[in-house]
């Protein structure tokens, strides 16, 4: 294994300053975004914009 990369989530947190719950929230937000855009028509730019805005504003 490459010793450069952390071997645990705790190691990742110490390097990045990102907590595991923040990572999970980010993954959930991205999943919700993809679920949202799959309901949009390819021609419906307003729908895609709404999905993108929801992802961007997710905190």
Query: What is the chain's Cα-based Rg?
Result: 16
Closest to 22 (Cα-Cα) out of 53, 51, 59: 59
Answer yes or no: are the C-beta atoms of 46 and 57 closer than 8 Å: no
Please give the Cα distance from 6 to 30 (Å, whole number): 24
11-23 residue pLDDT tens: 444 445 556 676 6
DSSP 23-48: HHHHHHHHHHHHHHHHTS-TT-HHHH
Please give the Cα distance from 41 to 48 (Å, whole number): 8
| Residue 1: band (very low, low, confident or very high) from pLDDT cuts 50, 70, 90 | very low
11-56 residue pLDDT tens: 444 445 556 676 677 778 888 999 999 999 989 999 999 999 988 8
């Amino acid at each position: 294994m490459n010793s450069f990369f952390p071997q645990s989530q705790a190691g990742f947190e110490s390097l990045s300053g990102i907590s595991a719950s923040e990572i999970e929230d980010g993954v959930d937000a991205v999943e919700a975004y993809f679920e949202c855009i799959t309901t949009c028509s390819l021609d419906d730019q307003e729908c895609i914009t709404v999905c993108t805005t929801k992802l961007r504003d997710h905190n």
